[in-house]
Chains A and B, each alone.
Chain A
Amino acid sequence: MSLVAARALDRLGYADSPLHRRDARAKLLVCAAFVLGVSSFPRYELAGLLPFFLVPAALAAFGRVPLRPVLGLVLAASPFAILVGLANPFLDTRVAARVAGVAVSGGLLSFASILLRFALCTSTLLLLVATTPMPRLAAGLRRLGSPAALTVQVQMLYRYLFLLVAEGERLSAARLLREPGRRLPRFATARGMLSMLLHRTWERGDRVHRCMQVRGFQGELPTLAAARFGTADALFLAAGVGFCAAARVLPLARWAGEAFLARGA
């Protein structure tokens, strides 16, 4: 499931939209400000987190990203955060708030807060990736100061990721055809499969190395794309960081509620 979704995400990065055209650096920095804003709220916060949902919603809308692969990945990744947070309602039973006369324990509040944070942070990061192709993401990381060896490595890894995963899938299919009654292979079988995979991987590495030598590899992957940090990028960055700061400091949710009530009155 998550592999299919990741492939879909990769293809989405090459689409075109106002958000796709923004510089990867601006998007990475907005994402960082967003994560910092969300994670700096105290543990029982719920209302303060709600305005932050505008950010992924805006990213999805301006980037014209279909929600299905993003939601699929968020759900597939959720078990650990849920598992760790799940104990909160049982351990922290102090009544922290009353909602319409029903007592709500502090643990329930903090668990809900963890769930909200998780949904916010993962969906925003995935939307960043869904609107930025990997080469430009790596170039953005490079320009933000991460070492060349790391960004080259990320790009090489990414280049061969889906190829080798397909290799692994073929091995699994071949194994399943030979012992259809067994859901999981025995360790000895898996050892053979992994050895074969390692062998093929290693040979591929040697071949790639020879090809790169022939083409004059100098230690860094060159890019032709002109990375210009334009006015639109600066505006996007300012708007994104500004909104995150405002949502962190100001009680936007309460104001929205009061405005709604005032209109109704």
Chain B
Amino acid sequence: MHMADALLSPAVGLALDAGAGALLTGAARQLSRRPDYQRKVPLMGVLGAFVFAAQMVNFAIPGTGSSGHLAGGLLLSILLGPEAGLLVIASVLLVQAFFFADGGLLALGCNLFNMGLWPALLGLPLYRRLAGDRPGTLRLTLACLVPAVLAAELGAFGVMVETQLSGRADLPFSRFAALMLGIHLPIGVVEGLATAAMIRFAARMGALRPAPEGAAPERLPLAPTVLALAVFLGCAGAWFASTRPDGLEWSLARAGAALPTAPGRAHEVLRAVQRFTALMPDYALPGRRDAAAPPAKLDTSLAGALGLLATAGLVAGGAALSRRGRGPGRSAR
């Protein structure tokens, strides 16, 4: 699902563009210092083109009557490492925006967050942890399935946050969430299965060569990644603060918790972030109009589940980052 310029406000688009730009610059700098960079250049190029070619091979998904194809984010990260994988996805998105009208100039940052960041940041460490050194077929499939589904759902979550925060489209949160997360579940499963098949084949082909001796472990650069995550978290926080304060307070009240009458410090900070990000004269979000009415139960629980998912993703990403430099990298796979 490519975000389009038409659905974005400049504040949201530019903030995510800035985060994505910092991340890409950091990853590019780190990558070009690697000893095997020059060998990777043509490989990155052809694998990026492979993603386009692979998307032409649509296959039937049994029992549904619909079709699926390989999206390739996780596969690229596993085959090339996180920095190179991120750069290849960025170049794919750039060409899709420029030549196929998929996405847009302002939406490039959003799309990199939704489709490139999670496989490289979260999917790869998770895959390495789950797959271990010499995985069997079942373990490998599972090790591809979990990160692929997680990345697809986080990407869908990103699309929702960006759309709702921009306030151009009117979809109510619960229906939008059910639709997006529902659609992306089978997408993630198909992606995981196809990735597992490709990785098995690549291992047989000898493509998963170990990194050269003495090279630094392959991780995304720390500072830009933290910055990018902060931008994303800021967007998600601003969105939660702007759309759901009543929902959260309502559920707290239901749970019997005492409500502070004055908004807390965090609330004020997030409000300030929202004032900063929502520069538009007309920034009323769809959820705001009926903020006085208690939101439906489904709404609140979905919001909670999504928040949990996002937080888990961020914590896991932070943990993966903080492991860098401790012992030899597990990049041998």
Residues of A within 8 A of B (CB): 2, 6, 9-10, 31-32, 35-36, 38-40, 42-44, 73-74, 76-77, 80-81, 84-85, 87-88, 91-92, 107, 110, 113-115, 117-118, 121-122, 125-126, 128-129, 137, 146-150, 152-161, 163-165, 167-169, 171-172, 182-187, 189-191, 193-195, 197-199, 201-202, 204-206, 208-209, 212-213, 217, 219
Contacts and interface: CB of A to CB of B under 8 A. Distances in A.
B49 A150 contact: no
B154 interface: no
Given A44-B282, A80-B4, A197-B57, A149 B31 contact: yes
Contacts of B280: 40, 42
Given A6-B100, A168-B54, A219-B32, A35 B105 contact: yes
A194 B41 contact: no
Contact of A129 (B9, B67, B99): B99
Interface in B32-54: 32, 37-39, 41-50, 52-54
A125 B198 contact: no
Given A77-B101, A91-B171, A209-B42, A184 B37 contact: no
A195 B100 CA distance: 25
Contacts of A38: 5
B143 interface: no
B301 to A, nearest CB: 21
Interface of B: 1-2, 4-10, 13-14, 24-25, 28-29, 31-32, 37-39, 41-50, 52-54, 56-62, 67, 70, 87-88, 90-92, 94-95, 97-102, 104-106, 163, 167-172, 175, 193-194, 197-198, 201-202, 205, 207, 280-282, 286
B87 A198 contact: no
Contacts of A76: 100-101
A197 B51 CA distance: 10
List the 4 shortest-distance A-B pairs measured between CB atoms, nearest first: A156-B45, A190-B59, A147-B28, A42-B282
Contacts of B7: 81, 84-85, 114
A153 B49 contact: no
Nearest to A124: B105
B46 A122 contact: no
A161 B106 contact: no
Contact of B54 (A92, A182, A197): A197
A3 to B, nearest CB: 8
Given A160-B49, A197-B50, A35 B42 contact: no
Contact of B207 (A10, A202, A212): A202
Given A39-B8, A164-B52, A157 B60 contact: no
A20 B57 CA distance: 35
A66 B112 CA distance: 31
Contact of A208 (B45, B104, B198): B45
Given A87-B170, A195-B198, A187 B193 contact: yes
A114 B6 contact: yes
Nearest to A175: B57
25 contacts: A31-B105, A36-B10, A36-B14, A40-B9, A43-B167, A73-B101, A76-B100, A77-B2, A85-B6, A107-B170, A114-B169, A121-B105, A126-B101, A147-B28, A149-B29, A159-B49, A164-B49, A168-B52, A168-B57, A184-B59, A185-B59, A190-B58, A191-B194, A195-B198, A197-B53
A212 B87 CA distance: 20
B42 A186 contact: no
Nearest to A196: B201
Given A85-B6, A161-B48, A187-B59, 14 more contacts: A32-B105, A39-B5, A74-B101, A117-B6, A121-B106, A147-B28, A149-B32, A156-B41, A156-B46, A165-B52, A197-B53, A201-B50, A209-B42, A212-B42
Nearest to A202: B207
Given A122-B104, A129-B99, A185-B57, A219 B91 contact: no
Contacts of B52: 161, 164-165, 168
Given A157-B48, A190-B59, A219 B282 contact: no
A198 B54 CA distance: 9
A125 B99 CA distance: 9
A217 B41 contact: yes
Contacts of B175: 87
Contacts of B95: 154, 157-158, 161
Given A88-B170, A187-B62, A198-B50, A153 B45 contact: yes
A6 B95 CA distance: 10
A185 B8 CA distance: 37
A158 B92 CA distance: 9
Contacts of A158: 95
A36 B105 CA distance: 10
B88 A153 contact: yes
Given A80-B2, A184-B67, A205-B45, A121 B100 contact: no
B324 to A, nearest CB: 20
Contact of A212 (B37, B41, B98): B41
Given A160-B46, A164-B46, A201-B46, A147 B29 contact: yes
A117 B166 CA distance: 14
Interface-central residue, A36, A84, A150, by most chain B CB under 10 Å: A84
Contacts of A73: 100-101
Nearest to B56: A168
A121 B193 contact: no
Contacts of B24: 146-147, 150
A128 B28 CA distance: 26
